[in-house]
């Protein structure tokens, strides 16, 4: 392998992040992909932040990446969320390599060469993403043909490699999940522009319809029994869910900052000083600040433990989903409190808080949702195997 000397990765400049923040309103209003942000962040090396330095990338761990993503998401949450779908693939490849599994090194090289990875895992009617699939995988010469309907495909306008999973039921008694990537120029798929949503509009997470799309054996990355997990699946969850949490923590921090600014600016005839001196405003700010402290601490602990190689064994799935759930739900609470402090100004279009209020509502829709999170945490706490069958009863 040819190595590339990489300069030290520098945190994103504040002026770049602020420029992304200045464009966020326009992207949201126009339901437009963040083209200018994408170009600027790609030029800054952000897309390769997790690629090891010996490949020419930034070499950042999950913990380091999470903190950088939080900074970006404070000003441009949809941009940060969509790019997480690319970065988490490179993070998975890098972490598996550190564990002694070099099977995904090609992803690191392709990312450095300019390829853009995305996730095609969302499916209607499947509440166990990655473990089961409504898409079908048919074994053919040289690979698999995939048929199915994927949704929530962030980065649709720019991806060049779409990671998908589908179920091979050729042996009904032992179905398998096939994980792999289709190339942008491959035949057998179409994109449906369905993305017109409450929030996170700039992600352009359109649907992808697969009609016999071919995955060559060279891009089949795992074939595992349906309903089971291995180190690859766990690492996907670590990077993806921690990234989701980082985005919504960024929203919470921004909402708190806006609420503090608003409290000092607002006046009332019945209050001699600014509304910052109103006891219930102080109460609301205190609730928001304490929530941010709590979710920041939990997310920091989780990503630090992962990056440090702490062995939580079979409790890792519980820790990952609990963190994501608590952070996204806590962020909603913080934004709600910020809206209360705004005194009504936050509900107007053009107010940044109005957009954050819509964006933060999307946190519960990312894997794992509240239903699955409680199932995983409850079973883990009770000592019930996550693969227990039948699932209920």
Q: List phi, psi (to 5°) of 227.
A: 85, 5
The CATH 1.10.540.10 domain(s) of the chain lie at 14-116
Domain topology for 118-225:
Butyryl-CoA Dehydrogenase, subunit A; domain 2 (2.40.110)
Tens of pLDDT, residues 156-191: 999 999 999 999 999 999 999 999 999 999 999 999
**SS3 letters across 92-143:** HHHHHHHCCCCCCHHHHHHHHCCCCEEEECECCCCCCCCCCCCCEEEEECCE
Q: List phi, psi (to 5°) of 13.
A: -60, 145
Does the bond joining 188 to the residue before it have cis omega, within 30 degrees of 0?
Answer: no
Task: Name the band, by pLDDT with cuts 50, 70 and 90, for residue 392.
Answer: confident
- Taking the C-alpha atoms of residue 64 and residue 177, their distance in angstroms, rounded to an integer, is 31
The CATH 1.20.140.10 domain(s) of the chain lie at 231-382
Please give the CATH number for the structural domain made up of 231-382.
1.20.140.10
Pairing mode, if any, of strands 143-153 and 136-140?
Answer: antiparallel
- Residue 344, Cα to own-chain centre: how many angstroms? 31
- Taking the C-alpha atoms of residue 197 and residue 179, their distance in angstroms, rounded to an integer, is 28
- Taking the C-alpha atoms of residue 315 and residue 234, their distance in angstroms, rounded to an integer, is 11
What's the pLDDT at 387? 87
387 in helix, strand or coil? coil
Closest CA to 326 of 295, 353, 371, 350: 295
Pairing mode, if any, of strands 176-183 and 220-225?
Answer: antiparallel
Tens of pLDDT, residues 11-22: 999 999 999 999
57 in helix, strand or coil? coil
- The reported pTM is 0.96
Q: What angle do CA 170, 192, 117 make, to 5 degrees?
A: 70
The CATH 2.40.110.10 domain(s) of the chain lie at 118-225
What's the pLDDT at 1? 35
pLDDT of 2 strictly over 50 = no
Find tokens 């921090």 and name the residue: 253
In the numeric block, which tokens belong to residue 87? 């970065």
Taking residues 284-299, what's their average pLDDT?
98
Tens of pLDDT, residues 343-370: 999 999 999 999 999 999 999 999 999 9
**Architecture per CATH, 14-116:** Orthogonal Bundle (1.10)
């Amino acid at each position: 392998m040819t190595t590339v000397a990489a300069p030290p990765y520098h945190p994103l400049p504040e002026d770049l992040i602020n420029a992304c923040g200045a464009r966020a309103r326009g992207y949201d209003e126009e339901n437009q992909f963040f083209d200018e942000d994408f170009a600027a962040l790609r030029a800054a090396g952000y897309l390769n932040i997790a690629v090891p330095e010996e490949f020419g990338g930034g070499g950042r761990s999950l913990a380091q990446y999470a903190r950088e993503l939080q900074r970006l998401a404070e000003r441009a949450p949809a941009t940060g969320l969509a790019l997480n779908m690319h970065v988490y693939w490179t993070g998975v490849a890098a972490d598996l390599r550190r564990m002694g599994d070099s099977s995904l090194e090609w992803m690191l090289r392709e990312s450095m060469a300019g390829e853009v990875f995305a996730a095609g895992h969302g499916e209607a009617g499947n509440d166990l993403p990655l473990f089961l699939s409504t898409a079908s995988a048919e074994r053919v010469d040289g690979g698999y043909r995939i048929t199915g309907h994927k949704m929530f495909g962030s980065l649709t306008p720019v991806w060049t490699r779409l990671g998908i999973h589908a179920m091979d039921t050729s042996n009904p008694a032992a179905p398998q999940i096939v994980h792999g990537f289709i190339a942008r120029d491959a035949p057998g798929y179409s994109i449906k522009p369905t993305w017109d949503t409450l929030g996170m509009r700039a992600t352009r997470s359109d649907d992808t319809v697969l009609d016999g799309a071919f995955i060559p054996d060279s891009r089949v990355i795992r074939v595992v029994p349906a309903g089971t997990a291995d180190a690859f699946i766990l690492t996907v969850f670590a990077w993806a869910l921690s990234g989701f949490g980082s985005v919504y923590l960024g929203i919470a921090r921004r909402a708190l900052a806006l609420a503090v600014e608003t409290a000092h600016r607002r006046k009332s005839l019945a209050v001699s000083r600014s509304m910052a001196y109103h006891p219930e405003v102080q109460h609301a700010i205190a609730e928001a600040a304490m929530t941010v402290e709590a979710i920041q601490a939990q997310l920091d602990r989780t990503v630090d433990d992962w990056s440090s190689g702490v062995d939580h064994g079979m409790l890792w799935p519980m820790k990952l989903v609990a963190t994501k759930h608590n952070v996204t739900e806590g962020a909603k609470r913080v934004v709600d409190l910020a809206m209360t402090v705004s005194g009504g100004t936050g509900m107007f279009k053009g107010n940044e808080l109005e957009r954050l209020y819509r964006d933060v509502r999307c946190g519960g829709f990312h894997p794992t949702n509240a239903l699955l999170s409680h199932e995983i945490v409850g079973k883990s706490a009770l000592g019930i195997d996550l693969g227990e069958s039948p699932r209920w009863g």
